[in-house]
Amino acid sequence: MAGMANKTSTELLAAIVNSSEDAIIGSDLDGHIISWNHAATLLFGHAHEAILGQSFALLFPDGQLPDHLTLIQLLEQNSAIGQFETMGRHADGREIPVSLSISAIRDKAGKIFGLALSARDFSNGYKLAARLAQSERHFRQVVNAAPNAMVLIDHAGMIEMINDRCEKIFGYSRAELVGQPFDILVPERLRGQHAEQLDQPAPTLYALRKDGTEFPVEINLNPIDTADGYKILSAIVDISERQHFIDELSRRNQDLKDFAYVASHDLKAPLRAVSQLATWITEDLAGKINEETSEHLHLLRVRITRMEKLLEDLLLYFRADQLGGNIVTIDFAELVRDVFELCCSDASFDLELQGSFPKAPTHKVALELVLRNLISNAIKHHDKRSGHIVVRSIANEDHYIFEVADDGAGIPIEHQERVFAMFQTLRPRDEVEGSGMGLAVIRKTIESLGGHISLDANQPRGAVFRFSWPRVAG
């Protein structure tokens, strides 16, 4: 009964919206139209089926509304943008005066997940000049409430309007900026460069405060065609804090790489010394120690070797984004066969190549590292003494796509993401020797070159590692 009641309530709400005399339009957070009533079709001329999924910006001439991201930022501070007048665009291309209100669609937790636009034709009973004047006043109110610095520039490059945020960021009052050239906000040494870069989307530039200090900014330019001529609305975002965070993150990442490098080198020497001592003790006490003590000394040497391998793999991981190396033209199929022969010294496993393997330039060292890890893992972690490994080449225009499949025990679905993490093994290291770093290293290597790796189950048994590999020019 509750389900039927909910269904009835939903159908009733839809009927009410569709019968409204106002055009009611819903959009998602990307600005795409997700709902459209009959009045919207009458006002804007678009059929319901044709307009769904289109951007709501299609309904308004350029410059009549801020973009949907700016509207969302405004609605996060206010529940709605009250009714105002602007120009809409009919499906046949003509402009139509509309009275518009915009409000946020929120979930139960109050989070915005869409916009609701209510519009009606107000062409009758009003003078267009008065409506446009009111629209301009409201436009200025919207700009002034924006969370970013906003600067309106006329066709001659002179500042016509700024908002409160602009005053706070740059340290100027409105009276000091209005009527001044936009270049007053740009360091003198960069003014020519800024003019060239402003054509790029949201370029990172440097701005100049009143006190002479410079700071990094991102600038978005929105052209507006007004009754007074062509203007540009510039949104300026201060990214000082973001840049500081990026710089600090880069510094810490470099410190971590340096630590891994020093630790791996400084720890290898004493580890080798301990291993040598264990060997000497075993030789000196040959025939004088019991089997249990001998086994303990053997385990000591095995675990020292494992620690050395772990240090090597740890260093390799931190260098994985630098493993591209020189670009060499190779036969991909020949490389796969060579790697397989190195990983499988006997005939207990066999290799099958499927698909058309390219002969092309690539990052050979990095690709060899990836293939060696995947093929050796397929052999080392197989649950039988023999098996069948398939390497496939799959046609793709953007990347090379390869798969390495085995017929072993496979990897349970709950562990398929975990295996790519550092220090992760699915079996005890005393059963299968390994550092748990191999898949983490190859994923970082692949992603640093713009590729991607994933894991799926093979059929009827085993695992399939699929990875994309970049095409490069020779």
> Mean pLDDT: which of 27-36, 125-134, 273-282 is highest?
27-36
Provide the CATH number for the domain around residue 86.
Answer: 3.30.450.20
- Within a domain: residue 267? yes
Of the pLDDT bands very low, low, confident and very high (cuts 50, 70, 90), residue 204 is: low
- Within a domain: residue 131? yes
- Do 202 and 260 lie in one domain? The reply is no
- Within a domain: residue 408? yes
Q: For the ranges 133-147, 211-225, 418-432, which has the lowest average pLDDT?
A: 418-432
Q: What are the pLDDT digits (tens) for 348-401?
A: 899 999 999 999 998 888 888 889 889 988 888 888 888 999 999 998 888 999
- Within a domain: residue 125? yes
CB 206 within 8 Å of CB 187:
yes
The pLDDT of residue 333? 94
- Do 439 and 339 lie in one domain? The reply is yes
- Do 409 and 395 lie in one domain? The reply is yes
Which position has the token pair 């066969």?
A: 337
The pLDDT of residue 423? 47
The pLDDT of residue 441? 80
The pLDDT of residue 332? 95
Angle, CA of 122, 14 and 111, to the nearest 5°: 85
- Do 336 and 463 lie in one domain? The reply is yes
The pLDDT of residue 320? 57
- End of a domain among 127, 145, 163? 145
Average pLDDT value for residue range 297-305: 78
Please report, in angstroms and rounded to a whole number, the separation of the first and last CA atoms in the chain. 68
Q: What are the pLDDT digits (tens) for 413-444?
A: 766 677 776 544 544 444 444 445 678 888 88
Query: Over the range 195-217, which residues count as b (16 or more CB within 10 Å of their CB) and which as e?
Result: eeebeeeebebebbeeeeeeebb
CB 224 within 8 Å of CB 231:
yes
- End of a domain among 267, 295, 318? 318
Asked whether residue 331 carries a pLDDT value surpassing 90, the answer given is yes
Average pLDDT value for residue range 322-347: 82
Of the pLDDT bands very low, low, confident and very high (cuts 50, 70, 90), residue 327 is: confident
The pLDDT of residue 324? 58
Beta partners for residue 214, in sequence order? 208
Q: Which residue has the higher pLDDT, 405 or 381?
A: 405
- Do 26 and 102 lie in one domain? The reply is yes
- Within a domain: residue 432? yes
Beta partners for residue 116, in sequence order? 26, 103
- Do 367 and 407 lie in one domain? The reply is yes
- Within a domain: residue 1? no
- Do 231 and 249 lie in one domain? The reply is no
- Do 328 and 450 lie in one domain? The reply is yes
Residues of the domain holding 267: 244-318
- End of a domain among 203, 222, 238? 238
SS3 per-residue string spanning the chain: CHHHHHHHHHHHHHHHHHHCCCEEEEEECCCEEEEECHHHHHHHCCCHHHHCCCEHHHHCCCCCCCCHHHHHHHHHHCCEEEEEEEEEECCCCCEEEEEEEEEEEECCCCCEEEEEEEEEECCCCCCHHHHHHHHHHHHHHHHHHCCCEEEEECCCCEEEEECHHHHHHHCCCHHHHCCCEHHHHCCHHHHHHHHHHCCCCCCEEEEECCCCCEEEEEEEEEEEEECCEEEEEEEEEECHHHHHHHHHHHHHHHHHHHHHHHHHHHHHHHHHHHHHHHHHHHHHCCCCCCHHHHHHHHHHHHHHHHHHHHHHHHHHHHCHHHCCCCEEEEEHHHHHHHHHHHHCCCCCEEEEEECCCCEEEEEHHHHHHHHHHHHHHHHHCCCCCCEEEEEEEECCCCEEEEEEECCCCCCCHHHCCHHHCCCCCCCCCCCCCCCCCHHHHHHHHHHHCCCCEEEEECCCCCEEEEEEEECCCC
- Do 304 and 334 lie in one domain? The reply is no
Average pLDDT value for residue range 262-275: 71
Of the pLDDT bands very low, low, confident and very high (cuts 50, 70, 90), residue 267 is: low
Q: How many domains in the chain?
A: 4
The pLDDT of residue 120? 86
Average pLDDT value for residue range 170-188: 90
Q: What are the pLDDT digits (tens) for 68-83?
A: 888 888 888 776 777 7
- Do 121 and 198 lie in one domain? The reply is no
- Do 158 and 47 lie in one domain? The reply is no
- Within a domain: residue 304? yes
- Do 168 and 108 lie in one domain? The reply is no
- Within a domain: residue 4? no
Asked whether residue 187 carries a pLDDT value surpassing 60, the answer given is yes
